[in-house]
Structure formats: C-alpha cells, structure tokens
Amino acid sequence: MFKLIAGPCAIESEEMAMDIAEKMKAITDKLGIDYTFKGSFDKANRTSIHSKRGLGIDEGLRILQKVKATYNIPVATDIHESWQAEPVGKVVDIVQIPAFLCRQTDLLVAAAKTGKCINIKKAQFLAPWDMKNCLQKVVESGNSNVMLCERGTSFGYNTLVVDMTGLVEMKKFGYPVIFDATHSVQKPGGKGDATGGNREYVEYLAKAAIAVGVDGLFMETHQNPDEAWSDGPNMVKLDDMEELLTKLVKVYEAVH
C-alpha cells in the first residue's frame, strides 16, 4: 500500500495535533495505509509578516514527541535553517526540506547528517530532472534514505500546475517519490496577503498520481480548514479524509 504523510500545516495546539493524529491513525489502520503524522512547528515562508507561523521549535517538538509516543506512529516536520536539523532529528522520523529551500546546500547537508529519512520537496521553479542535484547533496553527505516530493510547478502568476510525467522522471533516480496533493492546488499569494487554493481538486490530482505510480502521498488536513493558521484553502477537512483515502486505495489496488 502507498505511504501517507498527513497532518496540519502548522501545529496550532497540542489538543489539535493529538486529535488529528488519533483520527488519522484509526483511518489508516482500517485501510492498511503506512501513515506518518506531519506537523510544522514554524512556517517561515508565509506570504505576509502578519501571518501566524506556529508554536516554535521547543513546543512543536514536544508535541510531536507526544504524538509519536501516544499513537506509536512516525512523525515528520520541516526545517528552514541548518541549526534546526540536529534537535529535530532527535525527535522526528522524516525531516522535510521545504520547496523554496531545496537547493540550500548547508540545509541539505545538515539534514543528511541527522541520519533520518529526508523528504526533499521540489521547488516550484525547478524541472524534475534538476532534483538530481538536490538528491546528490544528501546522498553524498552520507545519507541515502531520501524521498523526492512533487508539489506543483509555477505557471504564470499565482498558479501552479502538475506535470504527471515529472513524477516518472523523478522515479528514474531510483528513490521513492511522494506527491503533495494539497500544496499542488495552492494559488501562491493568490489572496494578496495570503495563499489561496482549491481543495476540490485534491482528489483528482491524488488519483492521477497514484495511477502514475508514486510511492506515497503528502496531504494536509485540519478540523476546520477555513479557520486554519495557514494553507486553509487547500487543506482537506479531517471529516472528509476517510472517504477520500478509501477512493485512493481503490485506485491503488486497481493499478497494482
């Protein structure tokens, strides 16, 4: 079965994170999906300086550790600065490199040195084959436990598109490829002082990526996306996740 990395964009509270983790574990256990909880302690690349960013590294890692211990599931978070790699690596199972930062050599090397699985998101401005250089920075730093993640490509202003052949191109490198179904429906900066998006297209892009043969999906989910601190317009409502994942499992079973 495919791998799923899912959770809120930003960790807003312990209660919120634990609720999402509990419900997602129950759903994925039922469907036989390999699940990792994802939550960010900081969103450093927000559109506006006035946007909420998160709870900070200390509180965020404490909550991630509690999620991991309580539900016996792996956890993932992203890092934005090299110094964050070491403390994050002591807690999480997957260290995620944000798309905007996927070419930052020092960040990739620091992430590699944690020895954890590294999920490198492809920048919106890079071609799929350009990810070979990002991949090599981690592998040649001594860590071959790497995944590459597609999250859409810039197409004009405030728009992303997904080239499904890019998933095939990245798989040629011989490492797992993850498809980010929620960030791929973003409209970056589309609301002026915030990012827009259209969550109704998540299902269709996820189905297509599963059919193409990705190794896993990344999706952000929230109890009430319209009130989320970040990425609300493209996040899937938590109550809708079981129905969506059930459909995706059927697609997976049909093509494997």
Task: Give pLDDT, residue 249.
Answer: 98
pLDDT band at 73 (very low <50, low <70, confident <90, very high): very high
Using the predicted structure, report yes or no on whether residue 50 has a pLDDT greater than 80.
no
Residue 192: what pLDDT? Answer: 55
How far apart, in whole angstroms, are the C-alpha atoms of residue 86 and residue 141?
A: 15
Q: What is the pLDDT of residue 197?
A: 76
Residues 6+ apart with CB under 8 A from 30: 242
**High-pLDDT (> 90) share of the chain, %:** 84
- Rounded to whole angstroms, the Cα distance separating 128 from 115 reads 25
3 state SS of 146: strand
| Residue 141 near residue 112 (C-beta atoms within 8 A) | yes
Query: Which pLDDT tens digit goes with each residue over 107-161?
Result: 999 999 999 999 999 999 999 999 999 999 999 999 999 999 999 999 988 899 9
The residue-averaged pLDDT of 189-215 equals 84
pLDDT band with cut points at 50, 70 and 90 for residue 230: confident
Mean local confidence (pLDDT), 194-202? 80
Q: Find the helix packing angle between 14-31 and 57-71, rounded to 10°.
A: 40
78 has a pLDDT exceeding 80:
yes
Q: What is the mean pLDDT of residues 41-64?
A: 82
Give the ranges where 72-171 is alpha helix by DSSP (H): 85-89, 105-112, 131-139, 164-171
193 pLDDT more than 80: no
Asked if residue 46 has pLDDT above 90, the reply is no
pTM of the model: 0.94
Would you say residue 33 has pLDDT above 70?
A: yes
Give the list of residues 6+ apart from residue 224 with CB closer than 8 angstroms, or none: 237
Model confidence at 7, in pLDDT bands (50, 70, 90)? very high
**For residue 195, what pLDDT band results from cuts at 50, 70 and 90?**
low
pLDDT at 191 over 60: no
Round the average pLDDT of the chain to a whole number and report it: 94
